A and B are shown apart, each in its own frame.
Chain A
Amino acid sequence: MTFDLPQTWAEQPVGMRDVYPEQAKYRRDIESKLLAFFEQHGYHMVSSGAFEYVDTLLRGRQVQEADDWLRWFDPNGRMVALRPDMTPSIARMAAPLVASGTKEIRWCYAEKVFRRSNDPASLSWVSGKAAESTQVGVEWIGPAANRADVDLLALCQRSVEHLGLADWQMVVSHAKLTASLLEVLGLSQEARETLMQYLIRGDYVGFRQVHADYGITEDVLGALAQVNPLDHGSLSAFLTYSREDNPTTQRVWKLWDELTEFASVLAVQGLTEHLSFDFTLTRDLSYYTGIIFEVFVPGVGAPVALGGRYDDLLAQFGSPAPAVGFTFEVERLLTALTDGRWLAESMGKGDVR
Chain B
Amino acid sequence: MITIALAKGRTLEGILPLWTAANLPVPADLDDSRALVFEESSEQYGIVRFLLAKPADVPTYVSFGVADIGIVGKDVLIENPKDVYELLDLQAAQCKLCVAGRPEDKDTRPRRVATKYPRLADQYFRSQGVSVELVTLSGSIELAAVIGLADRIFDLVQTGATLAANGLVVFDEVLDVSARLIANRSSYRMKRNLVDEISRRITSVLAAEVGR
Task: Report A's interface with B, CB cutoff 8 A.
Answer: 123, 126-129, 169, 171, 202-206, 278, 294, 296-303
Q: Quick one: given A127-B64, A205-B180, A296-B190, are A302 and B185 in contact (CB under 8 Å)?
A: yes
Q: Is the CB of B65 within 8 A of A301?
A: yes
Residue of A nearest to B87 (CB): A204
Nearest-neighbour CB distance to chain A for B60, whole angstroms, equals 9
- B94 interfacial by beta-carbon distance below 8 Å: no
CA distance A205 to B66 in the complex (A): 23
Residue of B nearest to A122 (CB): B64
Q: Quick one: given A202-B83, A205-B180, are A127 and B63 in contact (CB under 8 Å)?
A: yes
Q: Is the CB of B186 within 8 A of A300?
A: yes
Q: Quick one: given A126-B65, A127-B64, are A303 and B186 in contact (CB under 8 Å)?
A: yes
Choice from A129, A203, A206, A302 contacting B186 with Cβ under 8 Å = A302
- B93 interfacial by beta-carbon distance below 8 Å: no
Residue of A nearest to B185 (CB): A302
CA distance A294 to B185 in the complex (A): 11
What residues on A are CB-neighbors of B65 within 8 Å?
A: 126-127, 299-302
Listed by A's residue number, 6 A-B pairs whose Cβ atoms lie within 8 Å are A129-B83, A202-B83, A202-B85, A296-B186, A297-B186, A301-B64
Q: Is the CB of A301 within 8 A of B190?
A: no
- B84 interfacial by beta-carbon distance below 8 Å: yes
- B115 interfacial by beta-carbon distance below 8 Å: no
- B105 interfacial by beta-carbon distance below 8 Å: no
Q: Quick one: given A126-B65, A127-B64, are A202 and B186 in contact (CB under 8 Å)?
A: no
Most buried by B among A205, A298, A299, A302: A205
Q: Is the CB of B185 within 8 A of A202?
A: yes
Q: Is the CB of A206 within 8 A of B86?
A: yes
Q: Is the CB of A301 within 8 A of B88?
A: no
What residues on A are CB-neighbors of B66 within 8 Å?
A: 301
What residues on B are CB-neighbors of A202 within 8 Å?
A: 83-86, 185
- B89 interfacial by beta-carbon distance below 8 Å: yes
Choice from A123, A169, A206, A278 contacting B64 with Cβ under 8 Å = A123
Q: Quick one: given A127-B64, A169-B189, are A301 and B184 in contact (CB under 8 Å)?
A: yes
CA distance A304 to B15 in the complex (A): 34
Q: Quick one: given A205-B180, A296-B189, A296-B190, are A301 and B87 in contact (CB under 8 Å)?
A: no
What residues on B are CB-neighbors of A129 within 8 Å?
A: 83
What residues on A are CB-neighbors of B85 within 8 Å?
A: 202, 204
Residue of B nearest to A207 (CB): B86
Task: Report B's interface with A, CB cutoff 8 A.
Answer: 63-66, 83-89, 180, 184-187, 189-190
Q: Is the CB of B64 within 8 A of A205?
A: no
Q: Which 3 pairs, one residue from A and one from B, show the smallest C-beta to C-beta distance?
A: A301-B65, A202-B85, A127-B64
Q: Is the CB of A128 within 8 A of B88?
A: no
CA distance A301 to B63 in the complex (A): 7
CA distance A123 to B61 in the complex (A): 10
CA distance A275 to B146 in the complex (A): 59
Choice from A123, A128, A205, A206 contacting B83 with Cβ under 8 Å = A128
Most buried by B among A126, A127, A129: A127
Most buried by A among B65, B66, B184: B65
What residues on B are CB-neighbors of A278 within 8 Å?
A: 189
Residue of A nearest to B187 (CB): A301
Residue of A nearest to B66 (CB): A301
Q: Quick one: given A126-B65, A301-B65, are A205 and B87 in contact (CB under 8 Å)?
A: yes
Q: List 13 additional contacts besides A204-B86, A302-B83; criterion CB under 8 Å.
A: A123-B64, A128-B83, A128-B185, A169-B190, A202-B83, A202-B84, A202-B85, A205-B88, A205-B180, A296-B190, A297-B190, A301-B64, A301-B184
Residue of B nearest to A203 (CB): B86
Residue of A nearest to B199 (CB): A204
What residues on B are CB-neighbors of A171 within 8 Å?
A: 189
CA distance A39 to B63 in the complex (A): 35
What residues on B are CB-neighbors of A298 within 8 Å?
A: 190
What residues on B are CB-neighbors of A297 within 8 Å?
A: 186, 190
CA distance A206 to B180 in the complex (A): 11
CA distance A205 to B89 in the complex (A): 6
Choice from A128, A205, A302 contacting B86 with Cβ under 8 Å = A205
Nearest-neighbour CB distance to chain A for B64, whole angstroms, equals 5
